């Protein structure tokens, strides 16, 4: 294994760690705002306690997300200095705007946590809304920078290889930005919603009479259901954009080795590079052509049209894509089960043990889908760090011995993961319903907007 590969593995592991916390901190503020709004409207003390518990958990995860995000920013400069030297002036706008969005999120989260009963209920709720909006915009700006790496524009390459005539607004508003941003935001709300629902479903299996956990479960499912239904539509838009702008990635995603019309959609399977085919896949004739280009007779370009040195890894890309799709379909099935029960059974979510167990088992799948989706995005762009402009090996640091920082990062993040799991486990064990007497007394005021 060469040093470039270890540099890639280090940043991949860092991003894989960070994206979990980033996704949760995008969505959790929205859940706590919903809970507080219900408390203010109904005066129900349990919504107050739920808001407090979710706010504490959000603060812990924001701290970890901020730390891991800072590490990522340093790693970009240290591990891929050539990339940052050339691309930095182009994508500096979304990164700087992300900083402002995060500052707003952090400042108003502090107000939200420590200004209970010190500001009016309306202002406190408004602080929570700013946290939710700031978190969403932080994600938007970062994802637009990644979208630029997939569709670079807003600059010109001079004869000496430097980037000139830079237009950062055009770079940020590239054609890839809309579908990548939509896909990421919906995925974050969906993954967090089902994860929170799974936690409270597990508690309900042990304590079915807990009204506060039933309320929490209902709020989490209220976020999960619409996001699970919308995500396949957003995913279809993303696939069409990839087919249009990155046909090589599209071929790797779908295990398409040969150029052909009426190309089949492959479900499952493992690409065989020597045989130039995807083995053991269930094929639906013509459906890939239809999904990618709107008609079954459309031609889909295969990997054979590009030199092998330009291929992304078809096995990793295809399998990751299949994992993402399977996770999404399972989450859609759980969401539809809940939705139709709610629709036809008196506006109530199902509370059977079968449904609660289905929710518990589906809980981790949202985060797994996010990890798999980012693997498709990043591995599918290889060997380019900036698509068809700069190769990854050209952008990496020449420093030898990259296995050492990779192993150190791996050990530190594994230890940090264990610590976070322990802290969150204790937080969940304490959970809502056990707030301090003074704080609980405040909830009885019945303040309403």
Q: What is the chain's pLDDT, residue by residue, as a tens digit (449 residues)?
A: 588 999 999 999 999 999 999 999 999 999 999 999 999 999 999 999 999 999 998 998 888 888 888 888 889 889 999 999 999 999 989 999 998 999 999 999 999 999 988 999 999 999 999 999 999 999 999 999 999 999 999 999 998 888 999 999 999 999 999 999 999 999 999 999 999 999 999 999 999 999 999 999 999 999 999 999 999 999 999 999 999 999 999 999 999 999 999 999 999 999 999 999 999 999 999 999 999 999 999 999 999 999 999 999 999 999 999 999 999 999 999 999 999 999 998 888 988 999 999 999 999 999 999 999 999 999 999 999 999 999 999 999 988 888 998 999 889 888 888 888 888 777 777 667 554 333 334 433 433 33
In the chain, % helix, strand, coil (3-state, to 5) comes to 70, 5, 20
Q: Are 179 and 13 in contact (CB under 8 A)?
A: no
Question: Given this model, what pLDDT does residue 220 score?
Answer: 97
H/E element, 314: helix 314-344
Residues 6+ apart with CB under 8 A from 82: 390, 394, 395, 396
Question: Given this model, what pLDDT does residue 435 score?
Answer: 42
Q: Are 238 and 186 in contact (CB under 8 A)?
A: no
Question: Given this model, what pLDDT does residue 442 score?
Answer: 40
Q: Are 361 and 399 in contact (CB under 8 A)?
A: no
Q: Are 413 and 99 in contact (CB under 8 A)?
A: no
Instruction: Give 36-85 as a DSSP string.
Output: HHHHHHH--HHHHHHHHHHHHHHHHHHHHHHHHHHHHHHHHHHH-HHHHH
What is the spatial distance between Cα 213 and Cα 54, in angstroms, rounded to a whole number?
12
- CB burial of 12-27 (b: ≥16 within 10 Å; e: otherwise) equals eebbebbbbbbbbbbb
Question: Given this model, what pLDDT does residue 364 score?
Answer: 96
What is the spatial distance between Cα 344 and Cα 313, in angstroms, rounded to a whole number?
47
What is the spatial distance between Cα 51 and Cα 443, in angstroms, rounded to a whole number?
11
């Amino acid at each position: 294994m060469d040093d470039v590969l270890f540099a890639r593995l280090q940043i991949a592991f860092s991003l894989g760690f960070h994206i979990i916390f980033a996704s949760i901190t995008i969505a959790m503020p929205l859940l706590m705002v919903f809970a507080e709004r219900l408390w203010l409207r109904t005066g129900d003390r349990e919504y107050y306690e739920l808001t407090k518990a979710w706010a504490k958990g959000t603060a812990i995860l924001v701290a970890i997300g901020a730390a891991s995000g800072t590490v990522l920013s340093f790693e970009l400069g240290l591990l891929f200095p050539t990339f940052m030297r050339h691309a930095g002036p182009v994508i500096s706008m979304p990164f700087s705007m992300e900083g402002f969005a995060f500052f707003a999120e952090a400042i108003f989260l502090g107000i939200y946590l420590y200004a209970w009963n010190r500001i009016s209920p309306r202002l406190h709720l408004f602080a929570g809304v700013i946290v939710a909006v700031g978190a969403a915009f932080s994600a938007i700006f970062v994802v637009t920078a990644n979208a630029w790496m997939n569709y670079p524009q807003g600059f010109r390459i001079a004869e000496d290889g430097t980037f000139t005539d830079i237009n950062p607004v055009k770079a940020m508003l590239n054609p890839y930005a809309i579908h990548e941003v939509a896909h990421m935001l919906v995925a974050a709300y969906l993954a967090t919603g089902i994860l929170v629902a799974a936690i409270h479903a597990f508690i309900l299996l042990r304590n079915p009479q807990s009204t506060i956990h039933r309320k929490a479960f209902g709020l989490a499912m209220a976020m999960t259901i619409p996001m699970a239904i919308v995500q396949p539509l957003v995913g279809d838009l993303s696939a069409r954009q990839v087919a249009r702008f990155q046909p090589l990635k599209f071929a790797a995603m779908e295990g398409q080795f040969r150029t052909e019309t009426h190309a089949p959609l492959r479900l499952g399977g493992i690409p065989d590079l020597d045989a130039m085919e995807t083995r053991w896949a269930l094929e639906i004739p013509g459906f890939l052509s239809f999904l990618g280009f709107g008609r079954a007779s459309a031609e889909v370009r295969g990997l054979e049209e590009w030199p092998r040195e330009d291929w992304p890894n078809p096995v990793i890309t295809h399998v990751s894509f299949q994992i993402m799709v399977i996770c999404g379909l399972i989450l859609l099935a759980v969401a539809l089960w809940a939705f139709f029960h709610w629709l036809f059974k008196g506006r109530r979510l199902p509370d059977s043990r079968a449904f609660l167990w289905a929710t518990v088992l589906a809980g981790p799948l949202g985060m797994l889908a996010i990890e798999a989706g980012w693997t498709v995005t990043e591995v599918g762009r290889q060997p380019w760090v900036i698509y068809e402009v700069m190769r990854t090996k050209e952008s990496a640091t020449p420093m030898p011995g990259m296995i050492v920082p990779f192993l150190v990062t791996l050990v530190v993040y594994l230890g940090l993961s264990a610590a976070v799991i322990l802290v969150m486990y204790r937080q969940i064990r304490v959970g809502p319903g056990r707030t301090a007497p003074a704080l609980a007394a405040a909830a009885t005021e019945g303040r309403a907007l």
